[in-house]
Amino acid sequence: MKIEYIHGFDYNNEHDFVKIQNNLKKYIELKNRIEENKINVCAGVDLAYWEKDGETYGACSIIVLNYKTKEIIEKVSSHGKITVPYIAGFLAFREIPLIIEAAEKLNSEPDVFLFDGNGYLHYNHMGIATHASLFLNKPTIGIAKSYLKIDGVDYIMPENEKGSYKDIIINNEIYGRVVRTRPDVKPIFISCGNYIDLGTCNKIAMELVNKDSRLPIPVRLADLETHILRQTLK
């Protein structure tokens, strides 16, 4: 898969991170490059971290599925030392190098990528799903398991039934959506990554949920795979 290298990674301070994010925001397009009924291949992306001898390491897994049959087409991974420090709001700068390394191994070309993390639901609208979209040049979706509170705004809990949701509105702008994918389980937090609208993100996520998890299948499988990689590599 071809990657668009939109910036380098020889940065490790908040000033540079903010500058890059602000420059990239003009490339956010919350409109569809592909309709949900035209999707054939989708992918889930997740990363896991561990510490060893005072150093931080990470592993990335990308699981590619047939969107209609839900069968696994391909899975790739990468791992390595993490050199960028953790600073809240700038996680993408730690994760994208490993995501790129894994994505370059793909033989298939997914129509859409689902990330275990946020996209537009971010302090600067540049969560991992949004930031990574500019390298992948593909529609992306953020699927978060927990809520990122911005400007002190809480979310409204949706009804306890499959498919119910509430939009997350901060400063009169819709940042994302809290969605109940199954009754009697915690909701998930969906946001646009890029090149897609929120309604389509919601439809895709619900299409990919089954009885095994509240998470869409490719995200759940990527999450499981990164845990296996972490245990193996540690």
Q: Kindly give the confidence (pLDDT) of every residue in the chain, 234 residues in length, as a single tens digit, with 9 standing for 90 and above.
A: 999 999 998 888 899 999 999 999 999 999 999 999 999 999 999 999 999 999 999 999 999 999 999 999 999 999 999 999 889 999 999 999 999 999 999 999 999 999 999 999 999 999 999 999 999 999 999 999 999 999 999 999 999 999 999 999 999 999 999 999 999 999 999 999 999 999 999 999 999 999 889 999 999 999 999 999 999 998
46 is in an annotated binding site: yes
Cα–Cα dist 40/216, whole Å:
16
Predicted TM-score of the model (pTM): 0.97
Q: Give the torsion sign (CA, 215, 95, 50, 78).
A: positive
Token pair for 143: 């699927």
Q: Which residues pair with 44 in a beta bridge?
A: 63, 114
Strand pairing report for 41-52 and 112-116: parallel
Q: Which residues of 35-172 form beta strands (DSSP E)?
A: 41-52, 55-66, 72-81, 112-116, 140-144, 165-170
116 is in an annotated binding site: yes
- Using an 8 Å Cβ cutoff, are 128 and 95 in contact? yes
Token pair for 126: 């540049």
Q: Which domains does the chain have, with CATH numbers?
A: 14-233 (3.30.2170.10)
Token pair for 74: 């391909």
